[in-house]
Structure 1
Amino acid sequence: MSLSAENQQNNRAAEVNTTRPKVIFFDVNETLLDLNPLKQSVVKILGGKKELGTLWFTTMLQYSLVATVSNKYYDFGQIGASSLIMVANNNGITLSDDEARSAVKPILSLQPHPEVKEALELLKQNNYKLISFTNSSNKAVEQQLDFAGIASYFDGSISVEDYGKYKPDTEVYHWAARKMQQENKDCLLVAAHGWDIAGALWAGWQGAFIARPGQQLFPLAPLPQINQPNLLDLAKQLISP
């Protein structure tokens, strides 16, 4: 490791400051819910090319941010379907709006990762306040949590739909903290996406990264207070003395 890289790592590590959060906010897609059925549906309609499925997801995130910085807001499902059409067109595949919407519809009927229910139960037993915090619409996240059988673990749900901007815009995290009547430093975001963790940390929140397969932290962002491979290990760390 070069001296500059070592110094950068030390500076990032020095910013980590862990205190018991007053509210734990959970990203939903991939953090709590297994996205494989959605990925399979998208890959299938893109001719079975897995790399195009990955490109679709990053394109969807890109255009949610394009809308945000342009002071526009569209439902995340709309952006997902539109992005799918763009990726398809670029690869010689013609999709109608209905076909694109049908391909992304499995996002509403996903199962939780195997350890999620046990982890949420453990956190509830230890008096943590749990809030879902997602880029999905209010209606979508309600359907998702109900279908997954985990809605009862949450004390509330926050969707960016009510603010009109997408994570990781800094003001979205500040707005969510205000909604819960908390200071930023007392909020913890649990997420499996490096961009979401980076946004939360830069907004003054605490961060807990769930290292789902294929996910990485952003090297230029501060280190999160917690880094675990799954939600149960996270819960055990949060309740440890």
Structure 2
Amino acid sequence: MIRFKTLMIGLLMSMSLMSTVAHSQDSTSSQQIKPKVIFFDVNETLLDLGNVGKSVSEALGGRDELVPYWFTTMLHYSLVGNVTGEYNSFAEIGIASLEMIANQQNIKLTPEEARTAVLTPFRDLAPHKDVVEGLKKLRAMGYTMITLTNSSDAGIAAQLKNSNLAQYFDGSLTVQNLKTFKPDLKVYEWAQKEMNVAPEDAMLIAAHAWDLAGADKAGWKTAFIMRPGKALYPLAAKPDLIGRDLIEIANQLEASAK
């Protein structure tokens, strides 16, 4: 009987502790999130890279399975540049990565063909279907909205113009000014200074876990858009907001701000 009572007391204590933890988690999730400036990643987050993927695949002899490898290679060597202090534009790295993969796979590809395959579609991308509505909703909520990309100044200007998204943003910041790529913490720190905003009043919306990891370490709020094929990095902090598209993120921000 004494053993039974001991077990019951232990169970009740465990249930009480679990309730306390759950309540604490609920309180955290219900905290108000209202940044003063929202920064946006662009490629894949706002703009659909389908045309780029198709162009790269054609350059690689129709090898669709090599397209994700090309993109990760491009990201990989942008970080190699960060570490070694050797800066090349994101477009240049993309072209070089395409040439590299073609050589690895014994696919004939001239430097001119690689350049055309990357640059031509990258400058003329369509927004994801949810983006315009999501941006309109955030604009109506009064947020200052800035693009923050690994692209060049000329590259993002062309992308926003051709996608007809420039009207929704208050400005654009690119790593060209620092000659180092996200997720280097220097990029986020520089961006917040440029916008005269404290880290806790900045938010990054992105479809890339590596980008959000950098913003989180810089002290920013973060929001993850779960674009197809994207996933969170289990060893990084969980984003403040997670949505299937920009509309869901905007709705969550609106609810949180009340």
TM-score in terms of structure 2 length? 0.86
The one of 123, 132, 143 equivalent to 2:158 is 143
Q: Which has the larger radius of gyration?
A: 2
The one of 206, 211, 218 equivalent to 2:226 is 211
- The CA distance in 1 between the partners of 2:254 and 2:160, in whole Å, is 24
* Per-residue deviation, 1:94: 2.5
Question: Are 2:79 and 2:181, in contact at CA under 8 Å, matched by a contact in 1?
Answer: yes
Q: Deviations over 1:176-214 (max 9, x none)?
A: 111111111111000001111111111111110000000
Q: Deviations over 1:151-191 (max 9, x none)?
A: 01000100010111100011111111111111111110000
Q: Tell me what 1:5 maps to.
A: none
- The CA distance in 2 between the partners of 1:76 and 1:170, in whole Å, is 18
- The CA distance in 2 between the partners of 1:97 and 1:170, in whole Å, is 33
Q: How does 1:73-92 map to 2 (within 5 A)?
A: 73-92=87-106
Q: How does 1:75-154 map to 2 (within 5 A)?
A: 75-105=89-119, 106-154=121-169
Across the two proteins, how many residue pairs are aligned to each other?
230
Give the aligned CA root-mean-square deviation in angstroms. 1.6
Q: Tell me what 2:170 maps to.
A: 155
Question: Are 1:167 and 1:196, in contact at CA under 8 Å, matched by a contact in 2?
Answer: yes
Question: Are 2:45 and 2:206, in contact at CA under 8 Å, matched by a contact in 1?
Answer: yes
Q: Deviations over 1:29-52 (max 9, x none)?
A: 000001101001101111211221
Secondary structure of residue in 2 paired with 1:124? helix
- The CA distance in 1 between the partners of 2:42 and 2:34, in whole Å, is 22
Q: How does 1:180-191 map to 2 (within 5 A)?
A: 180-191=195-206
Q: Deviations over 1:63-120 (max 9, x none)?
A: 0000011112111110000000001100001322111111112011000011111111
One-letter amino acid of the counterpart of residue 102, structure 1: T
Question: Are 2:33 and 2:253, in contact at CA under 8 Å, matched by a contact in 1?
Answer: no
One-letter amino acid of the counterpart of residue 226, structure 2: A
Identity %: 47
1:53 matched to 2:60? The reply is: no
Question: Are 1:18 and 1:206, in contact at CA under 8 Å, matched by a contact in 2?
Answer: no
Q: Tell me what 1:3 maps to.
A: none
* Per-residue deviation, 1:18: 5.2
Secondary structure of residue in 2 paired with 1:63? helix
- The CA distance in 1 between the partners of 2:69 and 2:45, in whole Å, is 19
- The CA distance in 2 between the partners of 1:203 and 1:73, in whole Å, is 22
TM-score in terms of structure 1 length? 0.92
Question: Are 1:23 and 1:129, in contact at CA under 8 Å, matched by a contact in 2?
Answer: yes
- The CA distance in 1 between the partners of 2:32 and 2:107, in whole Å, is 49
Secondary structure of residue in 2 paired with 1:61? helix
- The CA distance in 2 between the partners of 1:54 and 1:46, in whole Å, is 12
One-letter amino acid of the counterpart of residue 158, structure 2: Q
Question: Are 1:18 and 1:225, in contact at CA under 8 Å, matched by a contact in 2?
Answer: no
**What stretches of structure 1 move > 2 A for 4+ residues in a row?**
13-19
One-letter amino acid of the counterpart of residue 231, structure 1: L
Secondary structure of residue in 2 paired with 1:164? coil
Secondary structure of residue in 2 paired with 1:149? coil
- The CA distance in 1 between the partners of 2:108 and 2:174, in whole Å, is 32
Instruction: Out of 137-146 and 70-79, give the one that drifted further.
Output: 70-79
Q: How does 1:32-71 map to 2 (within 5 A)?
A: 32-71=46-85
**Unaligned residue ranges in structure 2 (runs of 5+):** 1-21
Q: Deviations over 1:113-140 (max 9, x none)?
A: 1111111111111101100010000000
